[in-house]
Structure 1
Amino acid sequence: MRLPRPNLPRPKLPKPGFPADHPPGPTRPSFWRSPLRGPWLTSILGSALAPLILVCAFTGFLSQAAYNPALGNNSLLPGGGLGVDLYFFSWPTSPSFLYALTQGVHVTSGLLAIPILLAKLWSVMPKLFEWPPIRSIAHALERASLALLVGGSIFVFFTGLLNIQVFYPWPFRFLPAHYYGAFVFMAAFLLHIGLKIPVARRTFREQGVLRPLRADLEHTEPEPYVEGHVAPLEPDRPTISRRAMLATVGAASLGAGFIAASQSIGGPLRSLGLLAPRSTQLNDGPNGFQINKTLAKVNLTRDDIGPNWRLVLQGGEERILSREELLAMPQHTYDLPIACVEGWSTTQSWTGVRLRDLATLAGAPGASQVLVESLQKGGALREVTLSSGQIADERSLLALRVNGVDLSPDHGYPARVIVPAAPGVHQTKWVGAMKFEAA
């Protein structure tokens, strides 16, 4: 005889997913207590930050186009850019300060943005610790885009800042990583802008754009708590007003921007950019301006650039010229800027032989391009290719002198290229050979 089974309650199995209770720490709404946080502060910071990021990105991509990456081995990206190397036009030579302007604006806008970006990240910090971290597929996609936005912004601005300081504590090449990182960041940023514009408009409509700035410390009130937003559940008493906080962020932003602008504008301002890596001149002589690569840094000696140096020209025919023969050719002098990816620029008076005259001498008048080779033994920029427009410009020189004296060894003696509006790394120093391609 079979006995009936006892009617015992079934044990409850835990549901898959995250526990409903918030773990201790920043996932709990009560953890975040600053009364300044809220949609208005985030919206006002975002409104100030967005134009700077757009300008910084636009000028950064222009900087990449300035390399004329479709020519020769000019592209500094792996695989020639893997299909995303922006190249829409041949980089112009006018105005002569074009690259100095675009790169100066790029670095200045980037430094202006950093304090505002940090304040913006602080204002939305509770969103990074939402609980549960994933509620649905749609929420997971939103969190992934947020991770790309925050991670991308930190990576792009951090690597850019250290590049300005000529400091590379990582194993990868800066330019490709910074370039591709910018694509990831900008994709997430534009998506974020599209999602948050309605929120900002609603916030400003309800609270006013500037009305919260009128409140002093005594009258600073927290924004209403709404679950899933950044206003605090249990706010502390304010220790600073919103306008004081924004004034502090603004002062930090202007200070950082001034450091960059001082080395881009130059002149008397250069000495005021105390943290700029090229803020001071090396000496007071005609060659006393900024240097990125010295003769020793590229493993060259004075014997390499001594009396036995010769320039090899190739085109329809080969010509080998000494420095004395180059000096015997018609000389031309132009005041032209030289600008670096770090943001600094300087204008000097350069004297030398026109590139188009050298093309004619090599049997390639109206050359379509020229491969310029440096004596330096290696490096990604040992050789560069210049376009037909750069060769044809009467201001494009193989410079032999600067400010009325011979180039110093560190500035490229016995000869260097100077092309208006070209990136500094394309103003090749210690030129050993030029190979013109007939049109």
Structure 2
Amino acid sequence: MGRGPFPGVCRSYGRDMSRSPSSPGFWRSPLRGAWFTSVLGLVLLAGVTVLFVTGLLSYAAYNPDLSPVNDKTPDKGLLGFYLFAWPTDPHWLYRLTQGVHVTLGITLVPVLLAKLWSVIPRLFALPPARSLTHALERLSLLLLVGGALFEFVTGVLNVQLDYLFPGSFYRLHFYGAWVFIAAFVAHAVLKTPAALRNVRRLGREPDELTAPRPDPPTVSRRGALGFVGGGSLLLFATTAGQGFDGPLRRTALLAPHGGGEPGSGPNAFQINKTAALAGIDAAETGEDAWRLVVVGRTGTIRLSRADLLRLPLHSSSLPIACVEGWSTSDQWWRGVRLRDLAARVGHEGDPPDVFVESLQRHGSFRRAALRANQVADPRSLLALYVNGEELSPDHGYPARIIVPAAPGVLNTKWVARLTFGDL
């Protein structure tokens, strides 16, 4: 009588519930626990903070509030409160910040996946909300998990596959970062004290993430952390070389432009767009056809490449660094200073901003704007030579921009027109 009229049905119901993800008995891994989750969370706390800061710096490097052509997120509103005029010193600044952003993002992928795996029982816990506070916590967790996956997936797609996600990468990644970081900060404020306590306890006591009926262990929690760390180290080793020349670049198996140097000779350093992909017609860049149009306060002048070569030429040793995270070492550029070209059209002493237009027909950043501090820097050139030889077609022949600390896409190739003055 005490067992009820339908004991078989009850046993079957109990077994079915244990097969449901909402049942604690469904999750049997002996690795899950607050200590394991907390260690991963603290690693992500440090790593994601660096990712967010370097991501904001990368956006600022484009000087998006200077000109609409630089601004790929025109509706940012208050989210652009921190923007500032991007400096030209140190000349390797963008190479460092964006290299760290991309390399660290890829390195943290195993940590993020392990962290999500460690807390997945909480995503299925019932009831969905026990109180208003609990409902808000679950909502922040949804935004945190969704935002993390969105940011990492779109970032990796942009780096590895030249971005195959629908919509503008710049806009989606920028807004996604703010949604994610808001949830991340809220989660960190609530959970960091508990995470630190859990780490100090070394996982000696059962907790809400511990499986009630765990399977036999095949590896310790420290062993699992070592496995995650090994995965991150492997990704780091196959990505970080994209920021170096020579043999180290060949180790960047998972990074864009990470193979051997393209071609040979003085122009044998990385590019992100060939002349063919940009739609450059060789007939337009010939000595008889190409003219640089320079516009300023006193009017318009047109200069052939031979005219430019008769002007005072200067040299700069500067790298190329791309938003995808790859960069080159310093290359030796030679050409005409941008501030000298500004002076020839009436802007002497205090050169203004400049609007640069390219012969490029396909792809983004056919036009770009540079700030006055970039124009005024004596290392900023309209380059005609690199490493002692003429620019190759893929490196922007007959002339290209090179500016210290600027993202690669602002170092416009195949320059056709420079307009100095208010943008």
Q: Is the shorter-chain TM-score for this pair beyond 0.5, marking a shared fold?
A: yes
1:320 paired residue among 294, 297, 302 = 302
Match of residue 391 from structure 1: 375
1:300 paired residue among 280, 283, 290 = 280
- For each residue in 1:32-89, what CA deviation from the matched residue of structure 2 results, as whole angstroms up to 9, or x when unmatched? 0111100000011111121111111100100101111111224433435233235432
Match of residue 12 from structure 1: none
Match of residue 59 from structure 1: 54
Match of residue 217 from structure 1: none
2:318 paired residue among 329, 332, 336 = 336
Alignment of 1:194-343 (within 5 A): 194-205=189-200, 207-208=201-202, 223-224=205-206, 226=207, 229-279=208-258, 280-307=260-287, 308-316=289-297, 317-343=299-325
Question: In 2, Cα distance between the equivalents of 1:107 and 1:393?
Answer: 28
Question: In 2, Cα distance between the equivalents of 1:326 and 1:129?
Answer: 68
Alignment check: 8 A CA contact 2:42 2:192 kept: no
Question: In 2, Cα distance between the equivalents of 1:389 and 1:40?
Answer: 50
Q: Give the superposition deviation at 1:323.
A: 0.5
Alignment check: 8 A CA contact 1:75 1:81 kept: no
Indicate how the Cα distance of structure 1 residues 38 and 113 shifts in structure 2: closer, same or farther if over 3 A, else same.
Answer: same
Report the TM-score, using the length of structure 2 for normalisation: 0.91
Report the TM-score, using the length of structure 1 for normalisation: 0.88
Look up the equivalent residue of 1:334 and give its one-letter code: S
Range with bigger deviation, 258-267 or 99-108: 258-267
Alignment of 1:110-129 (within 5 A): 110-129=105-124
Match of residue 168 from structure 1: 163
Look up the equivalent residue of 2:284 and give its one-letter code: D
Alignment check: 8 A CA contact 1:350 1:403 kept: yes
Alignment of 1:173-192 (within 5 A): 173-192=168-187
Range with bigger deviation, 329-338 or 389-398: 329-338
Look up the equivalent residue of 2:270 and give its one-letter code: Q
- Specify which structure has the higher proportion of helix: 2
Question: In 2, Cα distance between the equivalents of 1:283 and 1:193?
Answer: 48
1:352 paired residue among 320, 330, 335 = 335
Question: In 2, Cα distance between the equivalents of 1:140 and 1:430?
Answer: 56
Match of residue 103 from structure 1: 98
Q: Give the superposition deviation at 1:332.
A: 1.2
**Which structure has the bigger radius of gyration?**
1
Question: In 2, Cα distance between the equivalents of 1:125 and 1:292?
Answer: 39
Range with bigger deviation, 188-197 or 281-290: 281-290
Question: In 1, Cα distance between the equivalents of 2:422 and 2:21?
Answer: 67
Look up the equivalent residue of 1:330 and give its one-letter code: P
Q: Give the superposition deviation at 1:114.
A: 1.0
Matched position secondary structure for 1:338: coil
Question: In 2, Cα distance between the equivalents of 1:393 and 1:80?
Answer: 31
Q: Give the superposition deviation at 1:260.
A: 2.7
| Percent identity of paired positions between Structure 1 and Structure 2 | 53
Alignment check: 8 A CA contact 1:355 1:392 kept: yes
Q: Give the superposition deviation at 1:369.
A: 0.4
Matched position secondary structure for 2:79: coil
| Structure 2 residue 24 is the aligned partner of structure 1 residue 34 | no
Question: In 2, Cα distance between the equivalents of 1:243 and 1:408?
Answer: 53
Q: Give the superposition deviation at 1:377.
A: 3.0
Match of residue 427 from structure 1: 411
Alignment check: 8 A CA contact 2:294 2:417 kept: yes
Question: In 1, Cα distance between the equivalents of 2:291 and 2:280?
Answer: 15
Alignment check: 8 A CA contact 2:18 2:24 kept: no
Look up the equivalent residue of 2:149 and give its one-letter code: I
Matched position secondary structure for 1:309: coil
Look up the equivalent residue of 1:367 and give its one-letter code: P
Alignment check: 8 A CA contact 1:76 1:176 kept: no
- For each residue in 1:281-320, what CA deviation from the matched residue of structure 2 results, as whole angstroms up to 9, or x when unmatched? 1112211111111112122211121221000000022110
Question: In 2, Cα distance between the equivalents of 1:332 and 1:360?
Answer: 15
Alignment check: 8 A CA contact 2:18 2:26 kept: no
Matched position secondary structure for 1:93: coil
Indicate how the Cα distance of structure 1 residues 438 and 184 shifts in structure 2: closer, same or farther if over 3 A, else same.
Answer: closer
Indicate how the Cα distance of structure 1 residues 48 and 408 shifts in structure 2: closer, same or farther if over 3 A, else same.
Answer: same
| Structure 2 residue 153 is the aligned partner of structure 1 residue 158 | yes
Question: In 2, Cα distance between the equivalents of 1:438 and 1:230?
Answer: 60
Q: Give the superposition deviation at 1:251.
A: 1.1
Structure 1 unmatched ranges of 5 or more: 1-20, 213-220
| Structure 2 residue 66 is the aligned partner of structure 1 residue 82 | no
Matched position secondary structure for 1:172: coil
- For each residue in 1:150-209, what CA deviation from the matched residue of structure 2 results, as whole angstroms up to 9, or x when unmatched? 00000101111111113423221111111110001111111111111121133234x24x
Indicate how the Cα distance of structure 1 residues 109 and 86 shifts in structure 2: closer, same or farther if over 3 A, else same.
Answer: farther
Structure 2 unmatched ranges of 5 or more: 1-15
Matched position secondary structure for 1:90: coil
Alignment check: 8 A CA contact 1:68 1:87 kept: no
Matched position secondary structure for 2:405: coil
Look up the equivalent residue of 2:342 and give its one-letter code: A
Matched position secondary structure for 2:278: coil
